[in-house]
Amino acid sequence: MKLLESIREKVVAMDGEQDEFIQAVDEVLESLEQVAAKYPKYVEAGIFERIVEPERQIMFRVSWVDDNGKVRVNRGFRVQFNSAIGPYKGGLRLHPSVKLGTVKFLGFEQIFKNSLTGLPMGGGKGGSDFDPKGKSDNEVMRFCQSFMTELQRHIGPNTDVPAGDIGTGGREIGYMYGQYKRLRNDFTGVLTGKGLTFGGSLVRTEATGYGLCYFTDEMLKAKGNSFEGKTVVISGSGNVAIYATEKTTELGGKVVALSDSSGYIYHEKGIDLKLVQQLKEVERKRIKEYVKHHPDAQYHEGSTGIWNVKCDIALPCATQNELDKQSAETLVKNGCIAVAEGANMPTTPDAIEVLQKNGVLYGPGKAANAGGVATSGLEMCQNSARYSWSFEEVDEKLKQIMADIYKKSSEAAEEFGQPDNLVLGANIAGFLKIAEAMYAQGVAY
Ligand code: NDP
Ligand code: 2IT
């Protein structure tokens, strides 16, 4: 459709160097062509033009002093993308690769993902090019305090509620929360993923990985299949990968490979998750160390080699564009039946095409990894009520939300003439709620 093409051209003209953002926009706009034709009122109200432009973008200097007394300078970001259905909500990524375009792609995806959860959360994302790797706890604390000293002006429990992402886990959220409270003298649910002693929710730590498996299970069930007896490959070995491994195993699958950005491990008899947790969550070591404890496992340099491991189900849980066309072809050749994304945008567009053309069930991140932010929404809910639910209560709600997301996405795919195309279905189902809210609120932004 001409309209969507011209919107794309405008985005490219303004921000052509933000390739990850353009990639995310392209996928969504392509899915929305039929929606634009069906709902001319959204075209007239400029919804499509408005949704690709963040409501607000904040960039700031973050200075801190390292353990040697040297002054270090990083760049901080918060992109407040869309508040049509609730306060901005989304994680903070701490990784040296973070640029404005990275945060924009993540914030854009977050709009649709959060909408799919059914909870009242707008879309946002933030972060910094700070690298927590190799830093002492004190250095991480000083960075987080400096980062929050500026960020606190822009966020609040009814305005914008950040959380974790790559490089931001419980430790970083704790330091940031402490600084927010100190500066604002306000004990409030301004961040999610908090520790359980100060307002965190049970299951938030596990939520993205568990939710991914609940979603994948729904995808498999719809085809009369399940995790039972399946060989599963999971990339990454961080928060999402660890709890995806745990739930896969509980559901009867066997995880045989995990990775980090340096390489991957293969353990035919199944990954020893307790060891991975000790190495990664406690000691913050490299995945390579695993083979020192299990001589029958193998370590291979280079993270993308993990897709050569034969499997029935692949769950990319590391980072964007980590699964390319060639890897997708290898997965198909090896008989893989399902790919579901724990990470955000891990599969390249040409790889998605290969998977879909070959009948591999494919669960896009916006739908499949929404369990993390959904449980953040449940944390906000408990904070507002000054109450906390049991592990079982939160887990049950998470399971229900993931089943609902699968249902909404597959029904939209069906309605728009491409049953099984969950990319189309998730994008459309996520979009329609936002569009209706923006339409009803007039041209406010
Ligand atoms: P963690 O920081 O806990 O773990 C990240 C993992 O991915 C590590 O194993 C890391 O390896 C690997 N990784 C990171 N960057 C790269 C890279 N450039 N190349 C190769 N490997 C890389 O993060 P999470 O587990 O929280 O996040 C993983 C993915 O899931 C991200 O895409 C994130 O956006 C997404 N996600 C996270 C949610 C959450 O609740 N945490 C919710 C929804 C999505 P190394 O240690 O070598 O860097
Ligand atoms: O990508 C994501 O959905 C997250 N990193 C979680 C965001 C959140 O607010 O819990």
Which residues lie closer than 8 Å to 218 by C-beta, 6 or more apart? 402, 403, 406, 407
Please report which ligand is nearest the Cα atom of 170: 1
Please report which ligand is nearest the Cα atom of 343: 1
Checking if the pLDDT of 444 tops 80, the result is no
Ligand 2 pocket check for 368: Cβ under 6 Å: no
Q: Report how far residue 331's alpha carbon sits from residue 355's, in angstroms, rounded to the nearest whole number.
A: 9
Ligand 2 pocket check for 165: Cβ under 6 Å: yes
Counting from 1 in the atom list of ligand 2, the atom nearest the Cα of 114 is: 3
pLDDT for 1? 63
pLDDT digits (tens, 9 = 90+) for 314-373: 999 999 999 999 999 999 999 999 999 999 999 999 999 999 999 999 999 999 999 999
Q: Specify the residue with its C-alpha closest to ligand 1, atom 13.
A: 318
State the distance from the centre of ligand 2 to the C-alpha of 70, rounded, in angstroms. 32
State the distance from the centre of ligand 1 to the C-alpha of 242, rounded, in angstroms. 11
Q: Specify the residue with its C-alpha closest to ligand 2, atom 3.
A: 373
Which residue is it, tokens 């009948």?
A: 359
Which residue is it, tokens 């008899």?
A: 269
Mean pLDDT of 154-167: 98
Query: Active-site residue 125, yes or no?
Result: yes
pLDDT for 169? 98
Contact 382, 224 (CB under 8 A): no
Q: Report how far residue 113's alpha carbon sits from residue 127's, in angstroms, rounded to the nearest whole number.
A: 19
Q: Report how far residue 50's alpha carbon sits from residue 378's, in angstroms, rounded to the nearest whole number.
A: 29
Contact 342, 368 (CB under 8 A): yes
Please report which ligand is nearest the Cα atom of 207: 1
Which residues lie closer than 8 Å to 182 by C-beta, 6 or more apart? none
pLDDT digits (tens, 9 = 90+) for 262-308: 999 999 999 999 999 999 999 999 999 999 999 999 999 999 999 99
Q: Report how far residue 118's alpha carbon sits from residue 237's, in angstroms, rounded to the nearest whole number.
A: 29
Contact 209, 215 (CB under 8 A): no
The CATH class, in words, for 5-187 is alpha beta
| Total residues found in the chain within this entry | 445
Checking if the pLDDT of 3 tops 80, the result is no
Give the residue extent of every domain in the chain. Answer: 5-187, 207-363
Q: Specify the residue with its C-alpha closest to ligand 1, atom 36.
A: 343
Whether the model pTM is above 0.85: yes
Asked if domains 5-187 and 207-363 share a fold, the reply is: yes
State the distance from the centre of ligand 1 to the C-alpha of 213, rounded, in angstroms. 17
User: What spatial distance separates the first Cα and last Cα of the chain, rounded to whole Å?
Assistant: 24
Ligand 2 pocket check for 90: Cβ under 6 Å: yes
Mean pLDDT of 2-9: 88
Which residues lie closer than 8 Å to 229 by C-beta, 6 or more apart? 252, 253, 254
DSSP state of 165: B
As a CATH number, domain 207-363 is 3.40.50.720
Identify the three-state secondary structure at position 388: coil
Look at residues 303, 338, 337 and name the one whose alpha carbon lies nearest to residue 323: 303
Residue in 89, 104, 125, 230 annotated catalytic: 125
State the distance from the centre of ligand 1 to the C-alpha of 282, rounded, in angstroms. 16
Look at residues 239, 91, 76 and name the one whose alpha carbon lies nearest to residue 165: 91
Checking if the pLDDT of 150 tops 90, the result is yes
Mean pLDDT of 29-52: 96
Ligand 1 pocket check for 303: Cβ under 6 Å: yes
pLDDT digits (tens, 9 = 90+) for 370-400: 999 999 999 999 999 999 999 999 999 999 9
State the distance from the centre of ligand 1 to the C-alpha of 370, rounded, in angstroms. 15
Which residues lie closer than 8 Å to 393 by C-beta, 6 or more apart? none
Identify the three-state secondary structure at position 384: helix
